[in-house]
Each structure stands twice: as structure tokens, then as C-alpha cells.
């Protein structure tokens, strides 16, 4: 969605038109970076005899800004069936213009606490450092979070133990090496939040809590690789555990918005956010049978201290050009 929102829009002469080749170039670079060079997307053709032509995606907002197409002309239809075109000057308030701004912050503090269990016994894993990306759409009277994404760096963790396949059987030494990152991200925009003037000349943005969307605004994804070594033999696999059911909790506190620079940019002040996996079931990180011995690694709970209070500059897509 980030690439279709403009990041993969590489042709200044055809702004707002994203081709498959541009999408592929962006995704290949970003996926390789986010997986620490462990994954590289490849282009494929579903047609048996090679497709003619190519898919492409249009981003009308970027096309309008580049003056390649005219803006929409809203039409109001009366109960009698009459219609009239509204000019930009007399569009009703509900159709007021929104501007989307985004910013990213690198955080240095604790990022995730995981309670791990399984074949190697209980462990508590703590990691530090994360990237926080915030995308907000704003009008003159309200705003909404389009995206909040909290991503940890890769976490490398090893486990070892001696196992027997049955009572009285010989012991087998097993080592499990894991490397994964954890991402908490919104799955839908927040409700529209009010912008209230504050005494310092700025504005106050309402808090955004998951209770406002029945605890179904966010998902948690654990992604990476595992390597299992025993008796000189190595088995590898992927970690892909996604928690997308109702239950993930995350809250963004009320924050201050500095209107200076809007609509090109703005500043989010005193932003606080934290999350946890709640009580929702979490799929196993790995589950593999080696030499007749089932080896399993899972987590029962994850919490994300997030950020207590930061100031973050947000830029519009036009300003980032």
C-alpha cells in the first residue's frame, strides 16, 4: 500500500501511474532490506503463453497534483432527479480537502517483550530499537491516522537442549537459531478525530484507542527464519506468525499539532503509543519434528512499550518531492 501510495511512482512525466516494473523495483529493494537480504521478490507471469501488455495502477491524487488530469467535479442529485456540478468554491464542508502527511522516527528504547515457551522451556525475550511510521490525513477541522507502524530490528536468539525420542532413548543435542522482526501496524484508518484549538496557538488531536474499532484496528506480524541443528544435520524454515484477529490492543494518546507549515508539513508533539497482543491466540513461531522429536517454539504474549512522548515532523507527499 505504501508503494501504490506513491513510493513506487518513479516516472515524473507520468506521475500517478505505477507500473508493475516500478512496483517490482520498489518491493525488491524494500523487502531485501526488511528481511536482511533473506528474501528477494521475483517477477512472474500467470499466463501460459506470456502476457501481452502490463498491469498498471493509477493514483488519481498524484495525477491531479501533477496537473495531468482535472480534479473531481462533485455532482449533487436532488430528489427530483436534477443534478448540478459543484465548483471547488461551493463544495460542502463534508467534501473539504484533506492532506496526507507522514513521518518516521527511529526509537532507541525497549521495543518488545515476548514470553517464549515450548521445547526449550520458558524464556523472556526483550529487544530494543524500533522504527515508528505515522501517516495522518488532516483537514481544517479534523484528522485521522491512516497508518501507524511499529517495526523492530531483527532479533537473533538461540536455544539449545538435549532430547530423547522416547523413554530410555539416547539423548540428542539440538540447537535452534532464530532471526525475526516484529511489526505492529494498523489494518484500517482510525475514525475521524477532532482538532481542537489550544491556548498555545496550536491544536489538540484526540486520542486514538483500539476500543473505538472494537479492538480490531491492528495486527501483529512476526517474520523471519529459523535453523535447527542436530547430529551435524541442519533444517531451516520460515517464521511467519500473524495475529490479525480481534484482541490486539494499542493506544495513541491525545497529541498536539503545530499548524505552522501546513499543508506542506506539520509537527506532532507529545505523541505516546503502546501496544500488546491481548489474549488473542498467536500461531507457533516454529513447529518441526527432528529424529522423531517434536520441536516447538511459541509465544503466549507480546507487549510493546512503544514511545512515551516524542515530537515528530510530518511531511506531505508534495513536500517530500
> Which of 68-77, 156-165, 261-270 is predicted with the least confidence, judged by mean pLDDT?
68-77
CA pseudo-torsion sign 18, 135, 320, 60: positive
Split at pLDDT 50, 70, 90, the class of 139 is confident
Q: Indicate whether 87 pLDDT > 50.
A: no
Give the mean pLDDT of the chain: 83
The ranges assigned to domains in the chain are 1-41+53-95, 96-320
- Whether residue 252 contacts residue 271, with contact meaning beta carbons closer than 8 Å, is answered with yes
Over the stretch 245-276, which tens digit does the pLDDT of each residue have?
Answer: 678 999 999 899 888 888 889 999 999 999 99
Q: Indicate whether 319 pLDDT > 60.
A: no
CA–CA gap between residue 321 and residue 313 (Å, rounded): 16
Strands (E), 82-122: 83-85, 99-118
Amino acid at each position: 500500500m505504501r508503494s501504490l501510495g506513491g513510493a513506487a511512482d518513479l516516472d515524473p512525466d507520468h506521475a500517478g501511474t505505477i507500473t508493475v516494473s516500478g512496483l517490482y523495483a520498489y518491493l525488491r529493494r524494500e523487502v531485501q532490506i526488511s528481511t536482511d537480504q533473506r528474501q528477494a521478490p521475483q517477477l512472474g507471469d500467470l499466463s501460459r503463453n506470456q502476457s501481452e501488455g502490463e498491469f498498471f495502477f493509477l493514483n488519481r491524487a498524484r495525477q491531479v497534483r501533477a496537473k495531468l488530469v482535472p480534479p473531481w467535479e462533485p455532482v449533487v442529485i436532488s430528489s427530483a432527479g436534477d443534478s448540478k456540478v459543484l465548483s471547488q468554491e461551493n463544495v460542502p464542508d463534508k467534501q473539504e480537502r484533506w492532506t496526507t502527511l507522514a513521518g518516521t522516527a527511529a526509537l532507541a528504547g525497549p521495543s518488545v517483550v515476548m514470553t517464549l515457551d515450548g521445547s526449550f522451556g520458558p524464556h523472556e525475550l526483550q529487544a530494543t530499537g524500533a522504527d515508528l511510521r505515522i501517516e495522518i490525513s488532516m483537514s481544517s477541522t479534523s484528522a485521522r491516522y491512516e497508518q501507524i507502524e511499529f517495526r523492530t530490528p531483527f532479533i537473533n536468539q538461540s536455544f539449545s537442549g538435549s532430547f530423547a525420542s522416547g523413554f530410555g532413548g539416547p539423548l540428542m543435542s539440538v540447537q535452534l537459531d532464530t532471526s525475526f522482526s516484529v511489526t505492529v501496524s494498523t489494518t484500517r484508518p482510525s475514525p475521524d478525530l477532532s482538532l481542537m484549538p489550544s491556548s498555545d496557538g496550536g491544536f489538540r488531536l484526540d486520542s486514538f484507542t483500539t476500543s473505538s474499532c472494537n479492538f480490531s484496528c491492528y495486527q501483529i506480524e512476526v517474520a523471519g527464519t529459523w535453523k535447527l541443528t542436530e547430529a551435524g544435520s541442519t533444517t531451516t524454515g520460515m517464521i511467519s506468525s500473524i495475529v490479525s484477529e480481534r484482541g490486539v490492543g494499542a493506544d495513541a494518546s491525545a497529541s498536539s499539532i503545530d499548524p505552522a507549515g501546513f499543508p506542506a508539513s506539520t509537527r506532532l508533539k507529545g505523541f505516546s503509543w503502546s501496544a500488546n497482543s491481548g489474549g488473542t491466540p498467536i500461531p507457533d513461531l516454529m513447529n518441526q519434528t527432528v529424529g522423531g522429536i517434536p520441536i516447538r517454539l511459541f509465544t503466549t504474549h507480546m507487549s510493546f512499550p512503544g514511545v512515551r512522548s516524542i515530537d515528530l515532523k510530518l511531511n506531505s507527499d508534495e513536500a517530500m518531492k
